[in-house]
């Protein structure tokens, strides 16, 4: 789709300087702008690119004054970065504005489907499924029996949603997400053979949750594994049975959370963090990348290391970690000197 500078300025409530009728059909970085693209400038570090970019339209802050003549059309707004973010959202909505049911696909006759559904080819919707309005389900998605999906959800290609899972409104599941697979529950018998413990709970995803590609969230043994509203999960995260993650917590890639752990609200968890089961992590906690968390964490703590310790304690200790070979050599020398002094007595 093409948009003119006038149309864009109306959306952003901006002021045009240049050709009001110039058209754009793509978005770009300012240093990579080509004819027909739209970009933005908010960081002064990138000011020189304004005079060389080939982008047709550049969004700038209202107080920006060019140092020399520019060839591109400028749209001045109160906050260029925020304005460009608004356009990215609109662009994404247009790009994803698919509707209709592609063939081949399967919808059980007992399923309840809302309005404006998009269902991609080779997708499967099981018995007694309930799907809200404006939901987009991309190709090769499996949705098991008794699943509930709220309005405006987007489920990308190849995702698998096992039976009984509940997904709220405005959620996004990226490619390959698996919700509701069995938790890792096994118990050894007297001969040491591990027998499977039935996993009969479910997964509950509340509203406005984003789940990254190939992330796996296991169903509860009993009850529910719960991801509270506003949570943002990166790619390749493993969340085990009966875990609960509080509102607006964000977790980076390759983190693993063992069963029955409770994580509070507004936490920030870095990549490759390992968290043991059956512990509690408070609200507003920050966990640095590659931590190994094996204890309860109180509200507002910042931790680092493996096993994890307080952030400031880790930094103080790290000064000595780096000097261990030197410190060992000093200790060995001191031991020799002490032995020598004792021998003289």
Residues classed as catalytic: 241
Question: Can you say how many angstroms the Cα of residue 64 is from the centroid of all Cα atoms in its chain?
Answer: 34
CA distance 137 to 159: 9
Q: Is the pLDDT of residue 246 over 80?
A: yes
Q: Which of helix, strand or coil describes residue 315?
A: helix
Is residue 108 scored above 80 in pLDDT? yes
Options 3.40.50.740, 3.40.1390.10, 3.30.70.1350, 2.40.50.140; CATH for 3-95 is 3.40.1390.10
Is this prediction's pTM over 0.85?
no
* CA–CA gap between residue 204 and residue 42 (Å, rounded): 40
In CATH terms, the superfamily for domain 100-314 is Hexapeptide repeat proteins (2.160.10.10)
DSSP of 230-263: T-EE-SS-EE-TT-EE-TT-EE-TT-EE-TT-EE
What is the rounded CA–CA span in Å between residue 228 and residue 221? Answer: 19
**Residue 318 pLDDT exceeds 80:** no
pLDDT at residue 345, as a whole number: 62
* Contact call for residues 60 and 80 (beta carbons, < 8 A): yes
Q: Where in the chain is the domain with CATH 3.40.1390.10?
A: 3-95
pLDDT, position 343: 75
146-157 per-position pLDDT tens digit: 999 999 999 999
Report whether pLDDT(59) > 70.
yes
What spatial distance separates the first Cα and last Cα of the chain, rounded to whole Å? 93
Q: Is 51 a residue whose pLDDT tops 90?
A: yes
Q: What per-residue confidence (pLDDT) applies to 322?
A: 77
pLDDT at 56: 96
pLDDT over 90, % of the chain: 82
CATH 2.160.10.10, the chain: domain bounds: 100-314
């Amino acid at each position: 789709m093409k948009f003119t500078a006038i149309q864009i300025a109306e959306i952003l409530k901006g002021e045009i300087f240049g050709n009001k009728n110039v058209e754009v059909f793509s978005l770009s970085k300012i240093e990579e702008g080509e004819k027909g693209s739209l970009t933005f400038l908010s960081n002064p570090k990138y000011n020189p690119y304004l005079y060389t970019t080939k982008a047709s339209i550049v969004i700038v802050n209202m107080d920006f004054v060019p140092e020399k003549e520019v060839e591109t059309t400028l749209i001045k707004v109160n906050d260029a970065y925020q304005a460009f973010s608004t356009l990215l959202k609109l662009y994404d909505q247009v790009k994803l504005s698919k509707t209709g049911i592609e063939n081949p696909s399967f919808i059980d006759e007992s399923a309840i489907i809302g309005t404006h559904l998009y269902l991609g080819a080779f997708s499967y919707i099981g018995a007694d499924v309930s799907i809200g309005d404006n939901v987009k389900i991309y190709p090769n998605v499996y949705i098991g029996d008794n699943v509930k999906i709220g309005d405006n959800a987007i489920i990308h290609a190849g995702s698998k949603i096992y039976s009984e899972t509940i997904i709220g409104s405005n959620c996004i599941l990226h490619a390959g997400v698996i919700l509701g697979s069995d938790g890792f529950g096994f118990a050894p018998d007297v001969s040491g053979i591990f027998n499977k413990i039935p996993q009969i709970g479910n997964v509950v995803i509340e509203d406005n949750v984003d789940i990254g590609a190939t992330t796996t969230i296991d169903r509860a043994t009993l009850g529910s594994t719960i991801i509270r509203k506003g949570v943002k999960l990166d790619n390749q995260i493993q969340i085990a049975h009966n875990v609960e993650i509080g509102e607006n917590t964000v977790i980076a890639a390759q983190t693993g959370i063992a069963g029955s752990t409770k994580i509070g609200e507004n936490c920030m968890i870095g990549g490759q963090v390992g968290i043991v089961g059956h512990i509690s992590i408070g609200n507003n906690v920050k966990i640095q990348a590659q931590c190994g968390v094996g204890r309860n964490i109180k509200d507002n703590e910042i931790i680092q290391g493996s096993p994890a310790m307080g952030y400031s304690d880790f930094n103080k200790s790290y000064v000595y970690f780096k000097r261990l070979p030197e410190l060992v050599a000093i200790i060995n020398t001191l031991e020799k000197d002490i032995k020598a002094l004792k021998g003289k007595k």
